Amino acid sequence: MKVAVIGAGPAGLTAAYKLAKAGAEIDVFESSSDVGGMSRSFELWGQIVDLGPHRFFSSDARVNRLWLEIAEQDYRMVDRLTRIYYGKRFFHYPLQPLNALRNLGLFEAVRCTLSNLREKISPTKDEQTFESWVTRRFGRRLYEIFFKTYSEKLWGIPCCELDADFAAQRIKKLSLSEVAKNALGIGRVKHQTLVDQFAYPIGGTGMIYQRMADYVDALGTVRLNRPVRRVLHTNQQVTGLEFDNGTTRTYDHVISTMPLTLLVKGLDDTPENVQQAAEALMFRNTVLVYLNVDGTDLFDDQWIYVHADAMQVGRITNFRNWITQLHGNSKTSILSLEYWCNNDDSMWSESDEQLIERAKAEIRATGLIGDSPILDGHVVRVPRCYPVYARGYKDRLSVVTDYIREFSGLTPIGRYGAFKYNNQDHSILMGLLATENLLQQRENDLWSVNTDYDSYQEAATITASGLVATGV
């Protein structure tokens, strides 16, 4: 079997790795100069950093078994500390009752409680939006404090225009009572959002995918800086790929993790209604500003969610607080400040100098680094990295997926390829299921792989000593 994989991110490399192990002829084509996609790591100022905070956690034994096969013993367990910055105060996340009460004050805490009780008595009308979903679950006041601002920064649309799928996939089954039970240590089952320890590779998150790529490249090829223009087909039977330089190659099967919108755009003879549906699907861009700060004990969090209206930054990562292997003997701390925007937003076209100056001003305003000198700045722009779940997106997406299902020899997977807000583990699972379909003639429905999924053949989690079976 001769298979092409478009994209060297978690989903694509997982599929390529498993297929290469099975003896298939594999070529991976990555448009950028690095592997790992959104989960890549790179060296900066003598340290290792990721594209923002990347926490790997899964309860699926298949996913964890593969991750450990690649990582071997080269990982450490990280005790998570994350907080929310709101109202010039820092709230522990997951919420801790005493910390939340102290920061909110008695009056505001009572308002939040009454707001939640009101939803029990007279629930908000379910309008299938993120706003109505969260309000019904937690109450309007908690929604306004801990969900609204951050979500609108991330997605660039009001929460009343954001589909409830985002909440249902990422925070389903999470309730105020579960948060409280977890904070008091009496929770029976820990929701993935509340997990307080996770495995992390000693070479950064991207180490896993670099190792996969090295294995595949030894048996097949992994070609960087090789953008694919389009997938070729005859009567919806895939025949190969055409590259940006006009050259073509033939393949028996194509696994695509390129943005679904670009995949459809490149297909010949696509019906107009499918083209229109694909064009209506939107991706959000990320701008990461890295700051090299003189100091080693700035603050203890791995990352902080910024809910302050007055700031454009959405999330702050302190790579000093992950594992010592990232910073070594360096005496500085690298922070990354994340901003999100669309192609037509002015931020996307701002100079590096403008972006760095904004990041410097905003990190100072939080008080997190005091008067510590900022030695340098670096900017990374990541296009089309968040599929936007705008209201009505499911109708448009179903038009596209129904059409793609008609093709033989084409498997779209991953966050970009399936237009699904995946974590690493979800993309790895997609890669595993895709290879089962090819090698074992399984009929796994890859479009149905959901974020924060809870259906496992076997449940197990990664610990410092390896894989441990768990109950779910």
Task: Dump pLDDT digits (tens) for 351-406.
Answer: 999 999 999 999 999 999 999 999 999 999 999 999 999 999 999 999 999 999 99
Query: Which whole number is the average pLDDT over 145-156?
Result: 93
Over residues 416-434, mean pLDDT: 94
Summarize pLDDT for 280-313 with one digit per residue, the tens.
999 999 999 999 999 999 999 999 999 999 999 9
Is 195's pLDDT higher than 80? no
Contact 284, 155 (CB under 8 A): yes
Can you give the pLDDT at residue 137?
Answer: 87
Tell me the whole-structure pTM to 2 decimals: 0.92
Task: Choose which CATH entry (3.30.300.180, 3.50.50.60, 3.40.50.300, 3.40.50.1010) describes domain 2-76+204-277+394-452.
Answer: 3.50.50.60
DSSP class of residue 390?
B
Residue 450's pLDDT band, with cuts at 50, 70 and 90, is: low
| 188 — pLDDT class (breaks 50, 70, 90) | very low
Question: Given this model, what pLDDT does residue 304 score?
Answer: 97
pLDDT at 191: 47
| Gap between the Cα atoms of 89 and 105, Å rounded | 11
Looking at residue 454, what is its pLDDT?
52
Interval 264-280 mean pLDDT: 95
- Residue 329 burial class via C-beta count within 10 angstroms: exposed 0-12, middle 13-18, buried 19 and up: exposed
Tokens representing 118?
């009101």
Is residue 302 a contact partner of residue 80, using CB atoms and an 8 Å limit? yes
pLDDT at 329: 95
pLDDT band with cut points at 50, 70 and 90 for residue 189: very low
Comparing 72-81, 137-146, 221-230, the range with the smallest average pLDDT is 137-146
Question: Is residue 3 within a helix (H) or strand (E), and if so which, with residue range?
Answer: strand 2-6
Q: What residues does 228 pair with on adjacent strands?
A: 243
Rounded CA-CA distance 116/447 in Å is: 35
Residue 173: the pLDDT is 55
Q: What are residue 52's phi and psi, to 5 degrees?
A: 85, -175
> Can you tell me the mean pLDDT for 18-22?
97
Query: Which of the four pLDDT bands, split at 50, 70 and 90, describes residue 182?
Result: low
Sort strands 47-50 and 237-243 into parallel, antiparallel or unpaired: unpaired
pLDDT tens-digit readout, 240-261: 999 999 999 999 999 999 999 9
* Residue spans of alpha helices (H) in 79-164: 97-104, 106-121, 130-138, 140-143, 149-155
The predicted model gives 336-344 an average pLDDT of 97
Q: Which residues contact 217 (CB under 8 A, 6 or more apart)?
A: 28
The residues spanned by each domain of the chain are: 2-76+204-277+394-452, 95-195
